[in-house]
Amino acid sequence: MSNLTPLQRQVMQISSYHPWYGALLQREKIGAAAAELSKLPLITSDILEKYYFTQQNRTEPGLSIYRTSGTSSGIRKAIYYSEEDDESYIASKAACFEEWLAESLPGRNSPDGRSGFVRKALADMGTGHAANTALTIFERMGLQADSLSFSLPIEEHIKKLESFRPELLYTMPSILDAIAAAARDPQVLGIRKIIVVGEIATPEWQENIAQRFGIRRSDILDTYGSIEIGAIASYSHALGKYVFADGIYAEALPAEQIDPLFEPLRDNESVLVLTSYVRTLFPAIRYVTYDVVRDFQTVEVDGKPRQCFTCISKRIGADLKHGEKISIYDIESVVHQFAKDAELRVRLQDNRLSVRIRSQSLDENLLDQIQQALEHKIPDIGLMIRNRILTGITVTRAAEDEQLEQGAVKAKKLYF
């Protein structure tokens, strides 16, 4: 084993935990000990539904099991973490947060003389892996930590923030939008640092949120992960890019290489495919995320090559059809130029794109300008309208007390 490459060792380990993966390699006449990444099979949703999500329940000691929405076969997804998987995830997140917070943690002195001003952290998010591990991560960092269920009325979120007074808030962008809208003055809540996960957080959105909470944009850390892989990447304000976590190797592939039925993406867009060297109970070798990233590249950071990208623009999938061309990232970027406090939901129905916006600051007269900006500033949308693939765009304003449509996990998504 000592003379094997890290990839070869990982292939052999994954094959031992997932015998079907080893059988898949055998059918394709790939020897685990001679594995080359580019020759290994892509782990697509079809393969996962056929093998991983239909396997018998695992019984290893110390398992963590997370269940997500059903697959196309109607079976709820059970995704497993071993104790080692959990520890790798917690260590990766803690290291990422500590590096970003730098002098803000207890016992650290900042250049301006403030000593460890982040002492309390509140996790306010959905269910799942990130939520379940948040308290452990913060306690490991030496912070006093508490959590709050996303299912509570927004008034309860405000009350908790007012009573607990955390300097650090860990949440999802849509929850943060709701908190900012419901609070009389978000700045009096005393939040000095914000970490977000799970949804799109464009630079425009980050800047607008920072202004509303009275902090700098660099006081917001956007992180990217998934229940399948764990920690994937985090945003570097110094680079203006998302940098992949240690233990992750990324590939950026053309959409048609994933599935010949997918239409080509823009020149600077690719489908993200990930290999994890720290995950065992999920077959994370050339795992297809179906997330579309822009400007994938390798840069040098502190003398080391680091893979990175500028943004996740959208997702593709077998059920999205021409929705594959519609980027929520681009739509949100345009809307936030007109309304800094905008919350939006995007629906594609009967070949018409509907954008519903809730905002206290939006001038009703700007709705037509937003509609025109969406059509003219986002080339894919304009082309789809000219080619009559889309019949048009409707931009409407939601009432302040209107309940916007919520997804099972992510609110910033394309609804059908």
In a domain, 93, yes or no: yes
Q: What are phi and psi of 64, to 5 degrees?
A: -110, 135
What's the confidence (pLDDT) of residue 321? 45
In a domain, 1, yes or no: no
In a domain, 219, yes or no: yes
pLDDT at 416 over 50: no
What's the confidence (pLDDT) of residue 14? 95
Claim to verify: residue 76 and residue 33 sit in the same structural domain: yes
Q: Which of 25-39, 102-116, 155-169 has the highest mean pLDDT?
A: 155-169
In a domain, 308, yes or no: yes
CA–CA dist 71, 85 (Å, integer):
23
pLDDT at 318 over 80: no
**pLDDT-based confidence at residue 126 (cuts at 50, 70, 90):** low
What's the confidence (pLDDT) of residue 55? 87
Average pLDDT over residues 325-341: 86
Kindly report, residue by residue over 78-118, the tens digit of the pLDDT: 899 999 999 999 999 999 999 999 878 766 655 555 556 89
Domain encompassing residue 149: 84-227
Claim to verify: residue 326 and residue 354 sit in the same structural domain: yes
CATH number of the domain residue 379 falls in? 3.30.300
In a domain, 234, yes or no: no
Show which of 315, 335, 354 is a domain's final residue: 315
Show which of 261, 282, 315 is a domain's final residue: 315
Claim to verify: residue 223 and residue 98 sit in the same structural domain: yes
pLDDT at 415 over 60: no
CATH number of the domain residue 30 falls in? 3.40.50.12780
In the chain, the number of structural domains is 3
Tell which residue, 175, 180, 183, has the closest CA to residue 150. Answer: 175
Claim to verify: residue 270 and residue 205 sit in the same structural domain: no
In a domain, 74, yes or no: yes
Order of all β-strands in the sheet with 392-397: 392-397, 352-358, 343-349, 414-415
In a domain, 235, yes or no: no
Claim to verify: residue 300 and residue 337 sit in the same structural domain: no
pTM, 2 dp: 0.83
Claim to verify: residue 104 and residue 43 sit in the same structural domain: no
Show which of 315, 335, 351 is a domain's final residue: 315
Claim to verify: residue 299 and residue 335 sit in the same structural domain: no
Average pLDDT over residues 26-44: 86
Claim to verify: residue 49 and residue 106 sit in the same structural domain: no
CA–CA dist 195, 168 (Å, integer):
8
Claim to verify: residue 252 and residue 345 sit in the same structural domain: no
In a domain, 301, yes or no: yes
Claim to verify: residue 97 and residue 212 sit in the same structural domain: yes
Claim to verify: residue 139 and residue 198 sit in the same structural domain: yes
CA–CA dist 60, 83 (Å, integer):
10
Claim to verify: residue 357 and residue 374 sit in the same structural domain: yes
